[in-house]
Amino acid sequence: MDRDALLGLESLNQLALTPEEQDEMLAFFAAREADWESLAQVDTANVERMVHVRPMVNVLREDVPSQPFSREDLLAQAPESMDGYWQVPRVLQ
């Protein structure tokens, strides 16, 4: 992870890190990369790709609609709402 890659991630996540925070993150990633490199020592040549950490499959539900929550219940969780909509800062200039 170099500074350019970090800036890219910052932009994707809409963050604005201070130079000190950037240094801290770069040091963090460098340490993690060292950890991951140690994994490369394990021989995985004959190991099948693990699809999921749990041994369960086909946890599915039938296509039956239900509406257990009202709009009021949901909008009560919104920081701000207007006319039945969730309200967020304007995203188009």
Interface with other proteins (CB under 8 A):
8, 12-14, 51-54, 56-69, 71, 74-75, 77, 82-92
Contact 62, 71 (CB under 8 A): no
Residue 1 contacts by C-beta under 8 Å, 6 or more apart in sequence? 26, 29, 30, 33
Which residue shows structure tokens 């992870």? 1
Residue number, 38 or 77, with CB nearest to other proteins: 77
Q: How far is the CB of 73 from other proteins (least distance, A)?
A: 9
Residue number, 19 or 89, with CB nearest to other proteins: 89
Which residue shows structure tokens 């060292």? 34
Q: Which two tokens stand for residue 37?
A: 């490199």
Q: How far is the CB of 29 from other proteins (least distance, A)?
A: 14
C-alpha span between 67 and 46 (Å, rounded): 47
Q: How far is the CB of 65 from other proteins (least distance, A)?
A: 4
Residue number, 41 or 58, with CB nearest to other proteins: 58
